[in-house]
């Protein structure tokens, strides 16, 4: 149903937000429990352990929490409308627009 609404909105010329938070789907890209997988706009990715990291080599394109972790992603965009604060847990993933990203912070807290 959601896909049909997005397709209809795009067909009508509407702007559809890029932020997508989904159900658990980090299984294809496993990292150890209590971590997060962080994907960057330069087609690299890595597992992030506990703590806070600001990625400066490339913008963050996607973050997936692993089992046993709480992940907070803060994205600073080029306008207030493109700032994002997302909380992820239990394998949830979120995607971010790399074109408007000015700065980012990913915080991982193991449970």
**Total domain count, the chain:** 1
CA-wise closest residue to 46 among 109, 85, 58: 58
- Residue span of the structural domain in which 52 resides: 17-110
Is residue 38 domain-resident? yes
Is residue 4 domain-resident? no
pLDDT tens digits for range 10-34: 455 544 444 444 444 444 558 999 9
Q: What is the reported pTM?
A: 0.74
pLDDT beyond 50 at 85: yes
Separation of alpha carbons 101 and 93, rounded Å: 18
CATH of residue 69: 2.60.20
Is residue 2 domain-resident? no
| Per-residue model confidence (pLDDT) at position 13 | 55
pLDDT tens digits for range 39-80: 999 999 999 999 999 999 899 999 999 999 999 999 999 998
Is residue 7 domain-resident? no
CB 75 within 8 A of CB 39: no
pLDDT beyond 90 at 1: no
Is residue 69 domain-resident? yes
């Amino acid at each position: 149903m959601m896909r049909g609404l997005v397709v209809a909105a795009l067909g009508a010329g509407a702007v559809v937000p890029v932020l997508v938070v989904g159900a658990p789907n980090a299984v294809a890209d496993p990292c150890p429990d209590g971590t997060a997988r962080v994907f960057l706009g330069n087609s690299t990715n890595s597992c992030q352990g506990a703590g806070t990291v600001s990625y400066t080599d490339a913008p963050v394109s996607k973050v997936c929490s692993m089992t046993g972790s709480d992940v907070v992603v803060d994205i600073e965009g080029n306008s207030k409308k493109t700032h994002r604060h997302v909380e992820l847990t239990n394998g949830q993933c979120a995607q971010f627009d790399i074109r408007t990203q000015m700065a980012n912070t990913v915080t991982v807290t193991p449970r």
